[in-house]
Chains A and B, each alone.
Chain A
């Protein structure tokens, strides 16, 4: 197919889009709405995912020791814990260091802490490996550490992080569910718009078939028209997301920082933006291709 035919067919597609009128506008708006919903959930889920990842990184298992080991024995004890597997980092906190930290946290009331004998136990702060920071793996690690003779108590767990991760997955599913229904509606509207165009252009298409234009070339403007509607809907959705994000960010970011511990909110990545635009074009292409006409 030559460039001039392609140009001509693209022009025809644009003319069709204008010819389809309100039905084309409603299919563009439905595409916008569906991708805006998916995109909105995506932004929220991305930030929640960032928070989960951050919290997973900061996850610690605190191993309280019955007695403070002699400085020479600390290294051997840490090696034994490392050999349990699933451990990324270990830090020894002596009784004195624990008291220093307490005084730092107490601030003005630190004098009270200074008058008492040091009641704090020595401990080891164990950071599990990312791959081992699941509830099951961390639970097993805690059990193994608790069974060591030097250990009095082990604190830590990932249940709450996991619950947040599950909430994030649920949020993604809800977003995909609502977005999916809206996508289906958008595809059907694009199909209806294209079918109306097919009906309006049936004489032209008959002539094209009679003079020997291949079916793929005949359907190309319909496909382009669908892609045009989908892409336009996706661009509007993206603009809506950008405007909505900019407007909401100043108010929402402090709340997110307070509840999720994220210093900054993030918008969709470049890949996500391309995926969103591509989904719009694909959605329109499917709608355009599904349109039925005489062949």
Chain B
């Protein structure tokens, strides 16, 4: 599903070169659940941005499903992204729309037939245990609920791959644990999950393959 071969990424800040990833190689199989672990600045977010083609690697080759991201034309990036769901630390919900509308919005802009929108949106809300809050606005949600809504929005289009970038970064341990359980539920239904987190203890409790990053290098892979 995911293959990185000697991938490096260097950002330029004016004349200064800032290395974010150095010579990273690994493979993640279809249906696998892997955790990218490491402190802030380890390169986890950069790696995820490379995977959804928000950035191009400076060196190396990245393959996601059937896409070679290094040579993928810009016009095909939407097709790649339609195959994946993405969640961030900040839930990025649209403030002027209810939870249900936030999820239905994705289906509508992707051209889902109208009769399918409501059942699918409520199916996703049910999967994250948020059906009762469907008509609430993001400002009325707790941080944990907002992250659940973001997860529902990510899975409503039934992606092959779910990328989660510090989804529990703002949450206390109990709620973070619930979100991790949700991610495991999603994985158990066949979605490949790649979770980036700095919460090593929580990640350990997941008991899944862990890739540890430090200073842009992959220092440990227990897979």
Give the interface SS of chain A, mostly helix, strand, loop or mixed. Answer: helix
Q: Which of B52, B75, B95 contacts A210 (CB 8 A)?
A: B52
Q: Give every chain B residue within 8 A of A217 (Cβ-Cβ).
A: 109
Q: Which of A4, A204, A211 contacts B81 (CB 8 A)?
A: A211
A-B contact number at CB 8 A: 51
In contact, A1 and B157 (Cβ under 8 angstroms): no
Known pairs A5-B111, A204-B94, A207-B92; A212 contacts B105 (CB<8 A):
no
Give the interface SS of chain B, mostly helix, strand, loop or mixed. Answer: helix
Taking CB atoms and an 8 Å cut-off, the chain A residues in 1-28 that contact chain B are 1-2, 4-5, 8-9
- How big is chain B's contact interface, by range? 20 to 34
A253 to B99, CA, bound (A): 64
**Cβ contacts A185-211/B at 8 Å (1 or 0 each):** 000000000000000000110111111
A291 to B113, CA, bound (A): 30
In contact, B94 and A207 (Cβ under 8 angstroms): yes
Name the distance in Å between B114's Cβ and chain A's nearest Cβ. Answer: 5
A208 to B82, CA, bound (A): 10
In contact, A212 and B81 (Cβ under 8 angstroms): yes
Can you name the residue of chain A whose Cβ is closest to the Cβ of B117? Answer: A4
Known pairs A4-B113, A203-B94, A204-B94; A211 contacts B106 (CB<8 A):
yes
A175 to B110, CA, bound (A): 46
**Cβ contacts B55-97/A at 8 Å (1 or 0 each):** 0000000000000000000010111111100100000101100
In contact, B113 and A211 (Cβ under 8 angstroms): no
Verify if B108 is at the interface (C-beta below 8 Å from A).
yes
Taking CB atoms and an 8 Å cut-off, the chain A residues in 210-239 that contact chain B are 210-215, 217
Knowing that A210-B86, A211-B81 are A-B contacts, what are 19 other residue pairs whose CB atoms are under 8 Å apart, sorted by A's residue number? Answer: A4-B108, A4-B114, A5-B109, A5-B111, A9-B109, A203-B92, A204-B94, A206-B92, A207-B105, A207-B106, A209-B81, A211-B157, A212-B77, A212-B78, A212-B81, A212-B110, A213-B78, A213-B110, A217-B109
